[in-house]
Structures are given as structure tokens and as C-alpha cells.
Structure 1
Amino acid sequence: MSVLEYRCYKPGDEREIVKLWNEALPLDPITLERFMNLVLLDGNFDPEGLRLAFAQGQLVGCCYAVRRLLPMVGTDLEPENGWIPFFFVRAEFRRQGIGRSLMEQALAFLKDQGRRNVFFASYAPNYILPGLDAQAYAAGWEFLQKLGFARLYTAAAMDLSLVGYALPGEVRALIKQREAEGYTFKTAASSDLVELIRFANEKFNPDWGRAIREGILQGLPLSRIFVARHRNRLVGFCLHGGYEGIPERFGPFGVDEEQRGKGLGKILLHLCLSSMRAEGLHGAWFLWTGETSPAGHLYRSVGFEVSRRFYVCKKELVEEGKS
């Protein structure tokens, strides 16, 4: 076995990391630009958390650990939580303890920072995938279980072909019915933005508000954001192109809990899909929903199909002498 060297990231390692990533994880390739944007330029990036293994100067393994240095909202740094967004080892060097050593170093880094809970891989804002695809990476799932990670839940990714899509007549009729009741459905204007971001943060998830804000700053057209109001009060929204500027990527999407059961989500979803088709897009997709949740049922009713399933996992870091 080759003599191994372990160390943290140093500037210039990124090209070899991306090269090995694409060899080791061929179903989920990444570009250097995406790696820079999602990892190196992340405000929470700490080189000590990006652990690397080398054999005779050749990169053979990588494991990334991250914790919050900047809050998602307010001042909350989630001081007990840390994340492992990705790990991989060169094929011919697997089952030699390299992955375990890298993971133990990553977990030690998080433990030294006072973290008690470690999640794979539900890190916001810059997750690559929401969890582990056990079907595509069966060995990776076995590896995580041996290290004490347990599945919390399954996130479903869904896709829809927009070829031949047209706004259904029943949705047109529903829009007219709701408009007669005081609802409006429009693309966003500058006057909507402050309320929209606050609504997304408070009613749903701070990552959604961030996605809207940063998406617009990076050039997301307001014409890709739809808002629903009832007598001038914002009650729902949806958009596409908010994550990484990918126009086919749908979401985030939400309706005020007090307003559900009226078909508002169905209206917003179809208006957005109709707009996407008008832009010439051939498909819509997203990475994360509960397959049996109300949203999951809505997506299926429209024709979305599950394309992948991801296990969101958690491990608790127990202090020495405690159980």
C-alpha cells in the first residue's frame, strides 16, 4: 500500500479535487466554477474542514466538513450542528481505510468546534445534493451506516417534461373563481420583494428567502417569480431559476398554511410551468420534497415523477465518557 499523506485544503488543490470528484462520482459531476461558487466562495468555508488524502503526491480522497460562521437568519449560528456535504475516494484506493480516516478527521474538526450533531448532507445554502442516493451509491450508504449515521427521512427529486404542456382549462377556471373572491396572481414587482423575502423566511425556511434575494442579485428576472395575494396580503409564491441561475430548476414554492385547500398552490405551479414553457424550456425539475407530503401529491397530480431519492442522515457526536 502506498504511503498516505493527509492534510487540509491548500489554494490550488481545487482543480485536482474537481477532477477526482468527476471520476469518483460520475453520476453527479461538477465544474470548477460550480465548486468555487458552492464551496470555496461559501461564507462558511474553512480550509481546515476540507480534508484530503494523497498517495505519492496524487489526490486519492476527499471529505468536506462545514459549520456556520455566518447565520442564515438573525444571529443563529446553529452552534450544535455541522454538516458533511460530500466525500469520495478514488476507485482503486477504496476499502483501504482512507474514507474512514478522512471522515474521522472531518468529524473531529466538527467536534473540536463544539458540534454535537452532524448531518449528511442537508447543508444550506450550498448543498450539492440533499442527501445520499443509496441506489446510485450503495457502498456509500453502507459506509455511512458503519460510521453511525442514521437515516432521518428521504428527500425526493422530481422531473417533469414540458413538451406538449399547456395550461389546463380547469386551472383557468379556478383562477377566475379565486379572482372573483379577491385573489390576484401576478409576476413579482420591485414593491413585492421586501414582503416576499420576509414571507419566505418566516413562513417557510430562511434558505428560501436567501435564494430569492441572492437570485435577484445574480440576475434572476422578476418575471420568473409569481406571487399570490388576497386583498393585498401576500399568501403564496413560486419561482424558477432561483438556484444557481438554472432556469429549469423549479422552486422554492409555498402557500400560507391558512390559505391551503383553495387550489392556490395549483394555480401558482401551473402559472410558473406555463411561463417556463413560454421561455422555450423543455423540462422542470427540483431536488427536494417529501414524496408523500401535500406538495409531493400536488407535483404528482401535475405529472412530475420521482427521478431520484436521497437519504438525509444524522450522526450524534458523543463526548468522551458520555453515552
Structure 2
Amino acid sequence: MVTYRYYQSGDEKKIVKLWNDSLHIDPITSERFRNLVLLDANFDPEGLRVAFDGDQLIGCLYSVRRLLPMYGTDLEPDNSWIPFFFVHPDYRRLGVGTKLMEEAIAFLAGEGRSNLFFASYAPNYILPGIDEATYPGGHAFLKEQGFERQYTAVAMDRNLIGFQVPSDVVELKQQRVSEGYSFTTAQDKDLYEVIQFANKTFNPDWGRAIREGILQGLPLHRILIAREGSKLVGFCIYGGYEGVPDRFGPFGVDPDQQGKGLGKILLNECLRYMRAEGLHGAWFLWTGEKTSAGHLYKKTGFEITRKFDIMKKSIN
């Protein structure tokens, strides 16, 4: 007999095992599960739904709403997220996933949420959305449950073996420096400004990534900043997410400064630093393929490695 409940202390070992038995392309360690889920400030045991057949865990679905503001006082009271779900291969198409989803939606609706996203949850998303090529069954399940695609994000990788900054970028940097721009690694005096710049110009999750990365040991030489005179106009980082050194980002240039090649300079400088550390590659999980950033990455040698559909459902 299949029974359903929410997370209880001790379930985590079975959850990690079933995760790795079900999501072979995206395995997880106990430590990473602990950091991204159990230690998340927004974690609520009632949102982590589990299904058992006797003592055997056969399904899991994690739903979450914001308990701690990402920035300021905004708790996004209408929004909620499902960062992941999975069902044991032997129990699929038997209604287990549907029941887990129903329980999660009842929980979130009871908390006043009206929008449910898969899986664009910050700060601790596992993947940006559903990878249809890798998980066609999961993609079909979300559509059956009434989720609709909002947009598609792409993950990209670049091999750094033999990388060198192209001569035209070297010349462009020299030109911008002669015009009063500077490109340096961060120092303590820059940190407040770059965090606020990331928060206000782009996304509060970017400012959080910088702050928490540094608290967790991110070396300041992995943060590159661009200034026009004394004004901060751009930055890029590597090794900021989960301490993974070859993970690139976040990365942004002041919209008022775009068209001057500052992003191209920062990106290539960052890749040069990464190669100087002995890294063999650079990768990230989330950008828009057709955005200016997406075009820049492609021109700099990045290739698309995965695509993710960010899905949404109204629940109230």
C-alpha cells in the first residue's frame, strides 16, 4: 500500500538514494542535498512530499515558498516553486507523481500562493527548468499537470585548453583604458558596491551569490570589475556558486554602457584568469540563447550543452 506524507528526520538518506536511482544524468551527494535543501532558509518540511510503498521510498516532490526575502522585504507572496521531483522507475505512470503534486499544491495554496514555477527557484535551484531531451517523461508530466512553458534557458560550456585572449579584445581593452575605463580584480573596498550593483541592476540572487561566495571562501581575485572613472559599470565572477571553480557567473554590464564591448573584455579576462588557475573549462547553467549575453557567449566559443524549459502553473 502506497502512503504519502511530508519529510521527517531521517528521510534524507532514502531521498538521496532514490534521487540517484531516478535522475541518473543529475546525481547528487548527501552534502549537496543538505546544503541546497535542508539548510535552505526557505525550507519547510511540509513542502517536501514523499511517497512510500511499505518502507521503500518510491517518490519525492519538493515545493517551496519564500520565508526569507531575497532582497529588502519582498517575500514574493504570490509565488512558489518546485525545484525537483522524481518517482522510482518501477512506479511511474501509476499516479504517484500526480498525488505528490496534488499534496504540494494544496500546501502552497493553503499558504496563499497562486503561481507555481518549475524550477526557477533562487537561491538554491538544482536546474533552471525541465530538460525535455533528458527527461521527456518529466516534461510530459508537467504538461499533463497544467504547466505551460514561459521561456527556455540554455546551459553552455567552453573548453579552455589553448585559450588566449584574442588580439582584437586586447586592442579594445587598451582603447577603453585610454578612455578612462579600468578592469581589475576586486578588493574589500569594492564589495559593498558590487553587491548593490548586482542586486539593483540585475537580480538579487546575483548579489546573494557574491556575498555568500565570499563568506564561503571565494577568493577576491575571482571577482573582476569594470569601472568608468570611479563608477562601477560591470562585473563577472567564477567559482561563486557552491564553490565550483569552473562554474562561471554571475556576469553583467550596466545597460547604459552596453555597446562598448565591456562585457567582451570582462568575459575574456575572466576566462584568462580561469585558465591561469589551471582550469580546463568554463560552464554555466542559465542564459537566454537569443539574448545579447547568449550571442556574446557563442562568439567567445561557448557551446550549448543543455536546454531547460521554465514552466508555470496557476494554482489559486
What is the aligned residue count?
Answer: 316
Q: Which amino acid aligns with 1:305?
A: E
The aligned counterpart of 2:168 is 170
Q: Which amino acid aligns with 1:162?
A: L
Aligned match for 1:253, one of 208, 231, 251: 251
Q: Does residue 29 of structure 1 match 2:27? A: yes
SS of 1:78 mapped into structure 2:
coil
Residues 212-232 of structure 1 show CA distances to partners (whole Å, capped at 9, x for unaligned) of 000000000000000000011
The aligned counterpart of 1:237 is 235
Q: Which amino acid aligns with 2:285?
A: L
Question: Which has the larger displacement, 167-176 or 178-187?
Answer: 167-176
Residues 134-173 of structure 1 show CA distances to partners (whole Å, capped at 9, x for unaligned) of 0111011110001100000000000000011011111111
Structure 2: segments with no counterpart, 5+ residues: none
Aligned match for 2:152, one of 145, 151, 154: 154
Q: Which amino acid aligns with 1:188?
A: A
Offset of residue 234 of structure 1? 0.2
The aligned counterpart of 2:285 is 287
Offset of residue 238 of structure 1? 0.2
The aligned counterpart of 2:190 is 192
Offset of residue 33 of structure 1? 0.2
The aligned counterpart of 1:321 is none
Q: Which amino acid aligns with 1:127?
A: Y
Q: Does residue 17 of structure 1 match 2:15? A: yes
The aligned counterpart of 2:79 is 81
SS of 2:175 mapped into structure 1:
helix
Aligned match for 1:219, one of 205, 217, 220: 217
Q: Which amino acid aligns with 1:175?
A: K
Q: Which amino acid aligns with 1:138?
A: P
TM-score (norm. length: structure 2): 1.00
TM-score (norm. length: structure 1): 0.97
Q: State the alpha-carbon separation in 2 of the partners of residues 313 and 108 from structure 1.
A: 19
Q: State the alpha-carbon separation in 2 of the partners of residues 133 and 107 from structure 1.
A: 22
Q: Which amino acid aligns with 2:4?
A: Y
Q: For 1:52-67, list aligned pairs within 5 A.
A: 52-67=50-65
Q: Which amino acid aligns with 2:181?
A: Y
SS of 2:70 mapped into structure 1:
coil
Aligned match for 1:272, one of 270, 273, 277: 270
Q: Which amino acid aligns with 2:241?
A: Y
Aligned match for 2:2, one of 1, 4, 20: 4
Offset of residue 119 of structure 1? 0.2
Offset of residue 190 of structure 1? 0.4
The aligned counterpart of 2:180 is 182
Divergent runs of 4+, >6 A = none
The aligned counterpart of 2:46 is 48
Residues 146-203 of structure 1 show CA distances to partners (whole Å, capped at 9, x for unaligned) of 1100000000000000011011111111111000000000000100000000000000
SS of 2:73 mapped into structure 1:
coil
Q: State the alpha-carbon separation in 1 of the partners of residues 57 and 25 from structure 2.
A: 20
Residues 229-262 of structure 1 show CA distances to partners (whole Å, capped at 9, x for unaligned) of 0011000000100000000000000000000000
Residues 49-93 of structure 1 show CA distances to partners (whole Å, capped at 9, x for unaligned) of 000000011000000000000000000000000000000000001
Q: State the alpha-carbon separation in 1 of the partners of residues 199 and 156 from structure 2.
A: 24
Q: State the alpha-carbon separation in 1 of the partners of residues 315 and 167 from structure 2.
A: 54
Q: Which amino acid aligns with 2:216?
A: Q
| Identity within the alignment, % | 65
